[in-house]
Amino acid sequence: MISLPLLLGLGLFFTDCFAFPLNEVEALTAFKRAIFEDPLLVLSNWNPLVSDPCNWSGVYCSNAGDHVVKINISDASIKGFIAPEFHKLSALQELHLHGNLLIGSIPKEIGLLTNLKVLDLGSNQLTGSIPHEIGNFTGIQKINLQSNVLTGKLPYELGTLRYLEELRVDRNKLLGTIPAANASDFSAVKHGMYASNASHLGFCGAYQLKVFDLSHNFFVGSIPGCLDYVPRSSFLGNCLQDKDPKQRPAAQCGAASLNKTHAGVNTKHRPVEDRPSGHQSRSSKPVWILVLEIVTGFLIGSLFVVAVFTIAHKWKRRPSIIIPWKKSSSTKDYMTMYIDSEAMKDVVSYSREELELACEDFSNIIGSSLDSVVYKGTMKGGPEIAVISFCIKEDQWTGYLELYFQKEVADLARLNHENTGKLLGYCRESSPFTRMLVFEYASNGTLHEHLHYGEGCPFSWTRRMKIIIGIARGLKYLHTQLDPPFTISELNSSSVYLTDDFSPKLVDFECWKTIISRSEKSSGTISNEGAVCILPSSMEGRHLDVQGNIYAFGILLLEVVSGRPPYCKEKGCLVDWAKEFLEIPDVMSYVVDRELKHFRYEDLKVICEVVNLCIHPNSCRRTTMRELCSTLENGIDTSVSAEMKSSLAWAELALGL
């Protein structure tokens, strides 16, 4: 029986938990989940089972301790995303996330924080546009979005924020004109004619701001007259029609600014009548001389055109891309590297706009790592997709990374098997800088999620066996039926995705890490002498680690059968734990997941035999995936009758314990 003190302790625990709003706890834990780097461990005590959220680092609650009113995690070097669930913090008044490495877009749900007074997201790496929902901050006093990579136009809704005193959006990539009414509308504002519709007036409908910084963006047009009170330093580094010489040069502002420079060009051309009289003397030449000059010029021009087309045709047969060899403070040195332009010709190319629309403005994040983010989306009239986006800045993207990206796309495109992920296409754009891969989406998530975080009943023994055989068939196809072979960069339960009927698909989402590591190793081996660089053999193909895949497959089998992760602090390495049970029939059943109601002993013996072959310390003694797959297919029974029989084996095990 449970002791009285234990019951009292549990009662106090649950009473304390439920005193704090559950939805606010969910919002805070969602934020923590969206952070994948926390080098200073500022979120280490964010655990609702251990302490009250009001005692968490950077979290401040109301005097009654029943709501979060302030979050301050500034200059903490955390890297991740702003979770949309933040809107559940309904009483939040201040959000300070300044000076971190936050990426992704500002979620539109943030506009539901109607009690917010301070929003400080400055000095991060946020992208996308400023959501229009920011106009819902009716009591906001300070907004700081400076030093990010925000794009798009400045929302007109900012003009409705009557209590706003400070707005900083400097050092971004914002475009368009500064939201404001024209002169007549501004005059009407003074007379109160637009009181009910100030949003159309932009900042001319707002009260005077104490701090207003729009510098170092790409705003065009003129500075509205209603902003005369703002210091001119707040508009520097834009593309505005201002006499201040500290605006951006026309070359950085695009066609809109370049058009202004053409206005004075024609004035330098003199009219026809001002030309020297010698110009007319040419018409006095004999007619036959003029005809001869025309014919000769025509022949020379024809020969020149033919020569140009011939050279162009030859160069098309040896296409090249120009890539930066090295970067310096002043200029870039370039070299030419020949690649096979035919590699990607049969792969679908998607635009960033298409994928952004399909993935709901890239807000539907289903996975992330240090180097990439995975989004879920639905193509218009098409399938569900998983989009993997590479997290890297344009100035860090070298020619070698571009080359590897193209080769990776070509390599992934040739995979066509029921147990491998299907590459649907790619996205490759320069403005904004984008490199993405588009895969067919598997609706049941990863095998890792089901084994370790699944809710409800665990996978049955038969289902686990079917998944194992499917993985084996996929690896057999990659290793033995493709020429050249293909290997998974990091084979584990997170690289196995499950379809509607729980059929496994191997997806190489970690190929980005391979691209970076191979680029770093290879870039130093290529000479920069001369104009042409020949591709060395170390870069010609994907790094093949067949034996590494086989070893990882053995660990994956143990993970599926036991339900334990490959490593945990309490029990250490899964392989070390399982070794003492694998070769002894009497204790072999200890490997099986205790959550299972039954298992089939004959299947377990086959699994243990294959695991021993996969993890043999001598890689030369490990067999091929063709043989391993055959052993599993011939030794494992996945029929319904086998599942019924296996319940007896589990009952015997329970009695033996």
Supply the pLDDT for residue 478. Answer: 94
Q: How far apart are CA 416 and CA 501, in angstroms?
A: 19
Quote the tokens at residue 528: 């920069």
From residue 592, give the alpha-carbon distance in Å to each of 343, 459, 557, 604: 46, 12, 11, 8
| Type of residue found at 238 | N
**pLDDT tens for residues 175-211?**
999 887 543 443 444 444 333 344 445 677 556 788 9
Q: How far apart are CA 447 and CA 493, in angstroms?
A: 5
Residue 337 clears pLDDT 80, i.e. is over it = no
Beta strands in 179-310 (DSSP E): 211-213, 220-221, 239-240
Q: How far apart are CA 657 and CA 646, in angstroms?
A: 17
**pLDDT tens for residues 69-126?**
999 999 999 988 898 888 899 999 999 999 999 988 899 999 999 999 999 999 999 9
Beta strands in 423-560 (DSSP E): 423-430, 433-440, 496-498, 504-506, 532-533
Alpha carbon of residue 274 to chain centroid: 62
Q: Is the peptide bond before 245 cis (omega within 30 degrees of 0)?
A: no
Average pLDDT, the chain: 77
How far is the first Cα of the chain from the last one, in angstroms, to the nearest whole number?
23
Whether residue 171 contacts residue 165, with contact meaning beta carbons closer than 8 Å, is answered with no
Q: What angle do CA 433, 497, 368 make, to 5 degrees?
A: 35
Residue whose token pair is 């505005």: 240
Q: Is 513 exposed, middle or buried (0-12, 13-18, 19+ CB in 10 A)?
A: middle
DSSP string, 543-571: PP-HHHHHHHHHHHHHHHHH---SEETTT
Q: How far apart are CA 625 and CA 423, in angstroms?
A: 23
**333/410: higher pLDDT:** 410
Q: What angle do CA 519, 523, 524 make, to 5 degrees?
A: 135
The alpha helices in 19-79, defined as continuous H runs, are 22-33
**pLDDT tens for residues 259-310?**
443 433 343 333 333 344 444 433 445 665 666 777 777 778 777 777 777 7
Confidence band, pLDDT 50/70/90 cuts, at residue 342: low
**458/334: higher pLDDT:** 458
Mean pLDDT for 63-67 is 90
Least confident of 39-53, 318-332, 383-397: 318-332
Beta strands in 248-331 (DSSP E): 320-327
- The strand pair at 101-102 and 94-96 is best described as unpaired
Supply the pLDDT for residue 312. Answer: 64
Quote the tokens at residue 112: 């539901």
Whether residue 27 contacts residue 82, with contact meaning beta carbons closer than 8 Å, is answered with no
Q: How far apart are CA 117 and CA 70, in angstroms?
A: 10
Quote the tokens at residue 507: 């997806």
